Amino acid sequence: MRARHGLSSRLARWLYSLAVCLLSPLIWWRVWREWLPTHPRRERLGFIAVEGDRPRLWLHAASVGEVVTAAPLIRSLLDDHPDHDLVVTTMTATGAERVRQMFGERVSHHFLPLDFPISARRFIARLNPRLAVIAETELWPNLLAACRRRGVPVVIANGRLSAGAFRLYQRFGALSRGMLETVAWIGAKSPLDAERFVSLGAPATRVTVTGALKFDLDVDDATRHASQQLRASWGARPVWIAGSTHPGEDEQALVAHAALKRRYPEALLVLVPRHPQRFDAVDAICRERGEQVVRLSARMPVNAETTVLLVDTMGDLMRLYGCADVAFVGGSLEPVGGHNLLEPAALGVAVVSGPHLDNLREIADTLAAGEARLEVADADELGATLISLFEDDDRRHRLGAAGRAVVEANRGALAATRKRIAALLNDS
């Protein structure tokens, strides 16, 4: 049976590689725009320049969200293994920019190569890491196969499989089994995630339920101080933030803001679209609705007439969450799956979301069980909830305090992941 499984997995990966090669023009077109002047496009084919003779660790975080989630782990790897160089890869340019903003020269960055067999082998051969860490779950069959060939242990940290991702991996059972059988360790976010990994082929002895790495979010004193200074400059007024919004949510946030302004005309909305390419379009939507808009990048003062601060920069979301009395977290009124609810919660800010939270269901349920999250169905309900929270200071403060308490009570994934990585490095 093992031989047949092995043959089936190899055949599945061969067919997958053939499909990737046939689709290469479309794939290349898709990633062409994910580029930075400091990173030649040939990195997408595994042509990376690696300097120095020190041993290397490799961590992959697909985009901005994964980089933010993995940030405590990245800091821990730098602290725990100062004799190693740390290389971080992303798929997106925005992820790359976030790595640079957060870590500067402390880590090296490359774009992840496309999963062509030759590109994957070239990338791993040049990088030659002692250990690979995949943040969350972005699994590429040929990259994992290249790690296996060179004896590179692979860790999946903060591993999660949404219902949709699980069904997709099930459809390609042999391919999924071939990948997961060779992973050295999976730190799963929840028992359900662990069960899904095992059912797809991961050995149960290599899967541990660690909880969500996001609970180990570290809010430094500098960020808190910057938030306090910025908020003080706005004066005494109701402030709420709509973070990581998607198309359709900006409009709903503005409808809710209009309702809030009828009760509190001086209210300020801090609007943070998820994707930079939408900044200008969202600006136009705000102005069409009669809002007085200041863009953060313009460095203009937010005065009493300003009704919307449009955040058209990257890397400022945490600081701006700290300026708000209430935080609506986007990707949840539209069927996107939700974004990081724990960033405002860790700051003690009252958290509101929509119902579409498939990407972080366990976290959402944990917050709700701790009476640390309110859920709304649409713009009208969001507006009514905002009004009720600003009318009841005690309720708003209790909601924020409960969020901070939930975050503190659920820390621990980082410690478990650090321990397992150290053990794997000692064994290698």
- Residues with active-site annotation: 66
Contacts of 371 (CB under 8 A, 6+ apart): 398, 399, 402
Contact 161, 190 (CB under 8 A): no
Contact 344, 304 (CB under 8 A): no
Mapping DSSP to helix (H, G, I), strand (E, B) and coil, where does residue 190 land? Answer: coil
The one-character DSSP state at 293 is E
Contacts of 381 (CB under 8 A, 6+ apart): none
Mapping DSSP to helix (H, G, I), strand (E, B) and coil, where does residue 360 land? Answer: helix
Burial grade of 205 (CB within 10 A; 0-12, 13-18, 19 or more): exposed
Mapping DSSP to helix (H, G, I), strand (E, B) and coil, where does residue 373 land? Answer: coil
Alpha carbons 317 and 331: distance in angstroms, whole number? 15
The one-character DSSP state at 112 is P
Contacts of 234 (CB under 8 A, 6+ apart): 268, 302, 323
Alpha carbons 64 and 71: distance in angstroms, whole number? 10
Contacts of 139 (CB under 8 A, 6+ apart): 156, 176, 179, 180
Alpha carbons 85 and 54: distance in angstroms, whole number? 6
